[in-house]
Structure 1
Amino acid sequence: MSQITESTRMRCVRYEQFGERDVLQVVETDLPQPGPDQVLFRVHGAGVNPIDWKTRKGLGFAARQIENQLPWTPGYDAAGEVVAVGEEVTSLVPGDRVMGMIGFPAAGGAYAQYAVGRADELALVPEELDLVTAGAVPLAALTAWQALFEMARLEAGQKILVQAGAGGVGHFAVQFALERGAHVIATASPGNRDFLAELGVHEVIDYHDTDIAEECYGLDVVLDLVGGEAGKRSLHTLAETGVLVTVPTVTADDIVSEAEAMGLRAHGMTVRPDSFHLDEIAELIEDGDVKVHIEKAFALVNAADAHELLEGGHVRGKLVLDCR
């Protein structure tokens, strides 16, 4: 392993039990040590995702993975500068600017000044993208990418509806779909209409006063980022050969069952780390074809405030922790 010349102590966020935002504590601890296939990097940005607050409350499959290993440092999204590499790592060297979805689902660790990730979870960050912003990319962008191109197999010329198109996953999904040559429809609140129009979305539907099942029909793909009744209702917009991919895990089984009863196809999904997909996403960002929108950056010590804003819903794009 290359030498670590930095401090051996760092600050991180952790919680000792599931609960509300007040369980989040900022503590000082030893730097994590990279294993043979891992790198240690100084974190600049850590993305804040819905899975973070749901897991903190003890909800969902990730909470089941960690309930017996508390205290735990949350966060799966991180970007920063490589400090040290394990002896088996040949693809990265100290000084490299990297981003990745790390420690998913059991290790976490991104809400910290330093973090470790497997080399095959990390991609190089384009020079055009600052490292705080880059920290907000991996999980949301990979979710959108895998949903559209692996699960739904979206193709040029197809029509797609993205539920919650202005959110973290949604704003990546609409841009990926547009770049692929699809006709893109998105649901959003009125305040996000102009934002989505600037991204190039063809049609924006106000979910407050419009029933999408009456507005849309014959769609090839629906990406459901809302779940529940909204997800079920959007099944009615599909063509017979269409497919719905639903991301919220809590309601996925119900929506898939409803689709089967209607003779339609629907799938739930769980995102996974993939450095090759991240490389493709980084290239689109580098070329200016995809923009990363950060609504707000918070200091590491204000992680609870970031959770509060995200839990309230209606965040445009992403939230990120500035861990420098």
Structure 2
Amino acid sequence: MTFKNKNLDIAADLYLPDGFDPSRTYPAIVSAHPIGSCKEQTSGHVYGAALAARGYAVLAFDAAYQGASGGEPRFIEDPGLRVEDFRCAVDHLVTLGYVDERRIGVLGICGGGGYAVTAAMTDRRFKAVGTVSAVNYGRMMREGDLSPDAAIATLDAIAEQRTAEARGAGPVITDALPASPEQAAELGITGLDMVEATKYYRTSRGRQPNGLTRSLLSRMGPAVGYDAFHPADQLLTQPLQIVVGGVPGEFGSYRDGFDLFHRARSQQKDILVVSGESHYDLYWKPEATGRALDALIPFYDKHL
């Protein structure tokens, strides 16, 4: 199905419970994909399908300007646009007679987890918030190569490219990952998250036509100034279930999970550390996703 974000068509898959009866009402969950991912990957085919099997209507969508959703130019990764997608997803859900508007939750994976938190802080229609390997994308963008001036160097490059495009130059589309695990090895890439991301996105493990991990350089400025968890100490009051892998990687989801846990105002909050599993194991690996769902399903059952 599609729903609207202003004049854009947002592509979505709706996962429905077994034995779905349109005359009944169901709790619903909006499920958001990682940075550079798409609805056919972990947010939909893994978590969306599993939650639907437990009685939820799950809406997994492609971000505006990405995947099968509308918007030109392509591959814009802008936090403001991404968060508005969530609000519009709820706007769509509340028009469906079989969705109980009092029982809508949100789930986000990786960068989608950070966006889910931001969305829940300013849209009270979300009654429960779940995250898996959540990353504060702004924090990640500012750190870059961990040098003190990484963010300034990034912003300088964005400014130069945006000026060039305003004068007629073509776009620069960055790809976060090598073309294959073999190329990653040839390039000397050894970081756990980079290696496992490449194995996920560039092999049959998780590869999908729209999961391209690309970003338009000239439009990356807003992400550098973004904080997914600001001001969680004031506005995030909904019940919160955080899931992180117990094997930390360089993308920082382990520490972001604990940062979110400590910053959230939520009185009912929990963080599950899935021991022995990494950020990307929680995307696809049955043992890891099963343990995540063992926490998420009772959480949503209780609060939705």
Question: Which bracket does the TM-score occupy, shorter chain normalised?
Answer: under 0.3
Q: Which has the higher strand share?
A: 1
With structure 1 as the length reference, what TM-score do the two structures score?
0.26
- Radius of gyration: which is bigger? 1
Q: Which has the higher helix share?
A: 2
